[in-house]
Amino acid sequence: MSPLPTPGMTRLLSLPMAVVTGLLIGLGFAPMGVWPATLVGVALFTWLLAGRSAGSAAVHGLLAGLALNALTIHWISVLGVPVAVALVAFMSLWFLVLGIVVALLTRTRAWVFLVPAAWVGVETAAGSFPFGGFPWIRLAYTGLDQPIAGWFAWVGSAGVTFLLALGANLLLLAVVDRGLRLRATAGGLAVFLVGAALTLVPHAEPEQHVTVGVVQGNVNRAEKGTGTYARSVTANHLSETVFLLAEERARGGELDFILWPENATDIDPIADDTTREQIETAVRLAGVPIFVGAVMDGPVPDSRQTSSLWWHPETGPGDRYDKRNLVPFGEWIPFREFLLPRLPVLEQIGRQSIPGEGPGVVDAPTDAFEYLRVGTMICFELAWDSTSYDTVRGGAQVLVSQSNTNTYAGTFEVPQQTALNRIRALETGREVIVSTINGISGLVDVDGELSGTTEELTSAHRTFTVPLRTNTNLAVTLSPWLALVVSAAALGGTLYAVATRGGRRRPGRMDNSEQPIGSTQ
């Protein structure tokens, strides 16, 4: 296999092509879901960046990133256009880096494998830095509803990103190298055919099941920002719980516990008597525990924690989990003491959120299951592999997802979060019961299929019976190590390309702006 030829293209054509490439990649993400466009986009990205100088690669990578991010995460503009511009611009810088790395790696003979490794490496970095990163848009998240989805349970999101990019680059190789066309095509198709075959692997059918009532209380949007808003949200969830109980008793059903979403109460129910009474009324009427999403007072003055609190009808509030992955400049302010006096707009964020520690798993005793362990992923946390995998490592027998999507109702954020719930079910080998304040609640089965969904901006309730599982999918163990090893391979390949000045290159047309690093004109 030879280095990839540099495309003979003037900037008048290549710069618009970079924008088109970014848009094609973005079309595979929810709610569009046009995954063949993503494969074409990834292949074009590699071809377009092949062998470019650092400056040219940076510009083309940045343009592709701007197009991709503007398409997929423009929903953040509900917090203000400047916020959206800043986030899109910053996240696009990672594509600037990716562009330079891809340009270098395409000069090596192993580019077909190293370029996919670079995608994993850049995604891993973007999901970690700065301030904990923003791993919301990853190539793997286009892998739903296509044959490659079978890989999620085995190699996780990091592995699926690699395989998607590998499949795209193998198909590119088939186009540019006639001598390898047959083998490259076969290899690319094998990635997807094996993925399709893996979806046929049967799941165990545990004997024990729990029946869970899901409450979507909705909010009175006209009250947002008023003094009555916080209490009305909790009141709405109490009311919808009553409707759930009435329906269950009419049909003779029995619940094991009830699930309320993130921020079902914005007032600490331990410290506030009115809020505590509302929850205790709901628990008393239900006669079963309620897993409450609550904003709690933090461990230091003027702080808060977003928590999931197990509330038992006999013993009251019990085990709790505090959200680990917080939204920077949304739930907490980096360098708060310095920035807050200089940027008064940040006062809208309110009290500083304090992250929790440890896996999102709580002891959740019920009448039928004294030692039940329930795992939760709270909203934004869905984007972090480690947080999701830790629920299984921590012994969760059933998974729930609690979210407050009220701010982003009607935007791309809601279907993208739904897609993340589906991916986490595939990876962890657990059904995921989804509860939102007024987004899309429902049940995701172990095959990633969504059922019993609610409509946005409505109050609703659902009842789901799910098995208690103890299995650990290979993805939970392998994916974190896979991300590190593959990222290291990409770094090593990049250093090699720099050290050898790109090595030998296949002749290709190149204008003066496309000179390799270190060449002279």
Alpha-carbon torsion angle 477, 478, 484, 490, nearest 10: -170
CB 364 within 8 A of CB 374: yes
Q: Based on the fold, state whether residues 83 and 105 are members of the same structural domain.
A: yes
Is 50 part of a structural domain of the chain? yes
Predicted pLDDT at 381: 97
Per-residue pLDDT tens for 428-465?
999 999 999 999 999 999 999 999 999 999 999 999 99
Reported pTM? 0.94
**How far apart are the C-alpha atoms of 192 and 171, rounded to whole Å?**
12
pLDDT at 502 (0 to 100)? 56
Q: Are the beta carbons of 474 and 155 closer than 8 angstroms?
A: yes
CA quadruple 150, 153, 154, 158: dihedral positive or negative? Answer: positive
Pairing of strands 316-322, 450-451: unpaired
Query: Do 237 and 105 lie in a common domain?
Result: no
Radius of gyration of the chain (CA): 25
Shared-domain flag, residues 231 and 250 = yes
Here the CATH number for the domain that contains residue 310 is: 3.60.110.10
Q: What local confidence, expressed as pLDDT, does residue 521 receive?
A: 31
In a domain, 6, yes or no: no
> Is 52 a member of any domain?
yes
Provide the domain limits for residue 50.
Answer: 11-201+476-514
* Cα–Cα distance measured from residue 381 to residue 135, given in angstroms and rounded to the nearest whole number: 10
Asked whether the beta carbons of 151 and 473 are under 8 A apart, the reply is no
Amino acid letter, 81: V
Are 246 and 269 in the same domain? yes
Q: How far apart are CA 396 and CA 67, in angstroms?
A: 39
- Do residues 221 and 186 both lie within one domain? no
Q: Give residue 339's pLDDT.
A: 86
5 found inside a domain: no
For each of the chain's 521 residues, which pLDDT tens digit applies? 888 988 888 999 999 999 999 999 999 999 999 999 999 999 999 999 999 999 999 999 999 999 999 999 999 998 888 889 999 999 999 999 999 999 999 999 999 999 999 999 999 999 999 999 999 999 999 999 999 999 999 999 999 999 999 999 999 999 999 999 999 999 999 999 999 999 999 999 999 999 999 999 999 887 777 778 889 999 999 999 999 999 999 999 999 999 999 999 999 999 999 999 999 999 999 999 999 999 999 999 999 999 999 999 999 999 999 999 998 888 998 999 998 888 887 888 889 999 999 999 999 999 999 999 999 999 999 999 999 999 999 999 999 999 998 989 999 999 999 999 999 999 999 999 999 999 999 999 999 999 999 999 999 999 999 999 999 999 999 999 999 999 999 999 999 999 997 544 444 443 333 443 333 33
- Asked whether residue 20 falls in the same domain as residue 89, the answer is yes
Are residues 392 and 369 located together in one domain of the fold? Answer: yes
- For residues 310 and 457, state if they share a domain: yes
Say whether both 95 and 109 belong to one domain.
yes
Question: How deeply is 296 buried, as exposed, middle or buried, from its count of CB atoms within 10 A (0-12, 13-18, 19+)?
Answer: buried
Specify whether 258 is located in the same domain as 314: yes
CA distances from 25 to 22, 70, 200 (A): 5, 12, 28
Please check whether residue 520 lies inside any domain of the structure: no
Residues 108, 228, single domain; the answer is no
Please report whether residue 164 resides in a domain: yes
Residue 456 lies in a domain: yes
* DSSP code string of 74-116: GGGGGG-HHHHHHHHHHHHHHHHHHHHHHHHHTTSTTHHHHHH
Does 2 map to a domain?
Answer: no
Q: How many domains does the chain have?
A: 2
Tell whether 148 and 188 lie within a shared domain: yes
